[in-house]
Amino acid sequence: MSGSWLNDDPDTLQDQNTEEVFGMDRWTDRVALVTGASEGIGADVARRLHAEGMRVVGCARRVDRLQRLRDRLGGRFHPIACDLRDEASILRMFAEIDVLWGSVSVLVNNAGLGHNASLLSGATEHWREMLDVNVLALAVCTREATTRMLQRGRGGHVIHISSMSAHRVPPNSGMYAASKHAVRALTEALRMELHERGAGIRVTSISPGFVETGFARQYHKSEAQARETYSRYEVLQPEDVSEAVIYALASPQRSQIHDILLRPTQQPL
């Protein structure tokens, strides 16, 4: 394996000497941060990375749900209360991880939300929350994680949970689609910046269609409409997205998965 990102850190030398360590084995005992781990896709990605042998930090506002996940998973899962709309809260979280476990090797920028807020009549507050969480928090977490990855010199992987709405614009979802189109631009821009640094840090977007989570309940503010959304046809389950995360993480270092478009088979748009 060649590459300027290797240094004399004993951990790095171990990576260098074990070219055959592919798959998830290379991540064993390393630290993953999953944002929005209290429900839905994030909770399942945290569970799966933990099952694969990683130490996992899960953050969200509903820390009671994170505590329940910790009760299920055990000591290699660490919950942190964090409101991603607040930069100080994000910085405190990274400082806590530094003290607890050191550098983050895998960042899964999963937290996100949609509001049913059209461009003609949507509330500014709803637009702002989507942009704050889906775009700005993702960029702040990425900066904090990659700064540490670069300092440590052991490579790393940043995964953005984007959306099919990064690739087309569904009716009445202009601001949500704008936020996910921004994630698509940020993915490519980050790839180029990291490439310049020759740091061996990979970037992947995963763009799901409908997944059965708390998303539709939050979007429509209605349990009934959420149920209707997920019963039109067989939608994806969070495990389907976790599988895509593992595929990207486990691929050989020479291979960078840029974007996985993952629709339910029956989803028309």
Ligand X SMILES: NC(=O)c1ccc[n+]([C@@H]2O[C@H](COP(=O)([O-])OP(=O)(O)OC[C@H]3O[C@@H](n4cnc5c(N)ncnc54)[C@H](OP(=O)(O)O)[C@@H]3O)[C@@H](O)[C@H]2O)c1
- 138-197 binders of ligand X (CB under 6 A): 161, 163
Establish if 214 lies at the interface with ligand X (CB under 6 A): yes
Please report, to the nearest 10 degrees, the dihedral formed by the alpha carbons of residues 143, 146, 147, 152 taken in order: 170
Residues in CB range of 106: below 8 A, 6 or more apart: 27, 30, 31, 32, 33, 49, 54, 156, 157, 158, 159, 249
Should residue 213 be labelled a site residue for ligand X when binding is judged by CB under 6 A?
A: yes
Tell me how crowded residue 263 is: count the other CB atoms within 10 A of its CB.
15
CB of 210 to ligand X, least distance (A): 4
Binding of ligand X by 40 (CB under 6 A): yes
Closest CB to ligand X among residues 105, 205: 205
CB of 146 to ligand X, least distance (A): 19
Report the residue count for the chain.
269
Residue 140: how many other CB atoms lie within 10 Å: 17
Of 195 and 221, nearer to ligand X (C-beta) is 221
Candidate residues 39, 52, 144, 259; the one interacting with ligand X per rule CB under 6 A: 39
Tokens of 53: 């042998």
Name the one range near ligand X by CB under 6 A: 6-14, 56-64, 69-77, 251-259.
56-64
- List alpha helices for 103-173, DSSP H: 124-130, 138-152
The residue whose two tokens read 């996100």 is 112
176 is catalytic: yes
Select from 84, 97, 117, 177 the one that contacts ligand X (CB under 6 A). 84
Interacting residues toward ligand X by CB under 6 A? 36-42, 60-62, 82-85, 110-113, 133, 161, 163, 208, 210-211, 213-215, 218
Catalytic residues: 176
